[in-house]
A and B are shown apart, each in its own frame.
Chain A
Amino acid sequence: AQKVTQAQTEISVVEKEDVTLDCVYETRDTTYYLFWYKQPPSGELVFLIRRNSFDEQNEISGRYSWNFQKSTSSFNFTITASQVVDSAVYFCALVASGGYNKLIFGAGTRLAVHP
């Protein structure tokens, strides 16, 4: 069975704080892909990052960084110096290599950044 757990339902921070969104996944496949999507209040899901299971290198993109650890089945997302525009629901998702490109979403974490 494949599953994604985002234990944090809601996080509230003040602008300029750093915040980490947790994602833990379960799969028996050796080849899989992990994604993060952002859903702002407008509703559109915006792709942030894709990582395959053979690439454990952490990634940094501006204020965003991702920490992929296969040993703990985690793919955590950190926003440095948060801004009000970061307020959104963030979804972590998993796709296995077999079958088709079906995203298995976590429940999402709602991030509220206050001025």
Chain B
Amino acid sequence: DAMVIQNPRYQVTQFGKPVTLSCSQTLNHNVMYWYQQKSSQAPKLLFHYYDKDFNNEADTPDNFQSRRPNTSFCFLDIRSPGLGDAAMYLCATSRDRGGMRDEQFFGPGTRLTVL
């Protein structure tokens, strides 16, 4: 039944040590998103893929990268995590129907701790 799956649910890394978070979906949606959510804040969009086209938000640090090898999977790579990158990372998907704006389906998130 799970539609958007994120692994791991909890990730602990050390300052400066690269980390990869993964997201998979069974909805066959063509758009996938990565959000960062810090405590008591709204989710902040980092980037999204429209099919294989990568779209970076203007204020997303270069430290954050993403890969989408196929429709079902998307990865978030943090090259050198800093203490300020500790957050919940949410993956979401949606289908695109031209100008229609369908709802986004979110995964359960990965909570990242940086030591």
Contact = CB atoms under 8 A, between A and B. Distances in A.
B50 interface: yes
The B interface, classified by DSSP as helix, strand, loop or mixed, is strand
A91 B90 CA distance: 15
Contact of A43 (B45, B88, B94, B103): B88
Nearest to A110: B40
Given A103-B45, A105-B42, A105-B43, A97 B101 contact: yes
A50 B48 contact: no
Contacts of B81: none
The A interface, classified by DSSP as helix, strand, loop or mixed, is loop
A37 B103 CA distance: 10
Interface residue tally on B, bucketed by range: 20 to 34
A45 B42 contact: no
A45 B90 contact: yes
B43 A100 contact: no
Contacts of A33: 101
A50 B102 contact: yes
A47 B107 CA distance: 11
Contacts of B43: 45, 91, 103, 105
Contacts, number: 54
Interface string B12-51: 0000000000000000000100000000011101001010
Contact of A50 (B92, B99, B103, B106): B103
A106 B42 contact: yes
Contacts of A107: 41-42
Interface residues of A, number: 23
Interface string A41-74: 0111111001010000000000000000000000
24 contacts: A31-B99, A43-B88, A43-B90, A43-B108, A43-B109, A44-B106, A44-B107, A44-B109, A45-B43, A45-B92, A45-B106, A47-B104, A47-B105, A47-B106, A91-B43, A97-B101, A100-B50, A101-B48, A101-B96, A101-B102, A103-B45, A103-B104, A107-B41, A108-B41
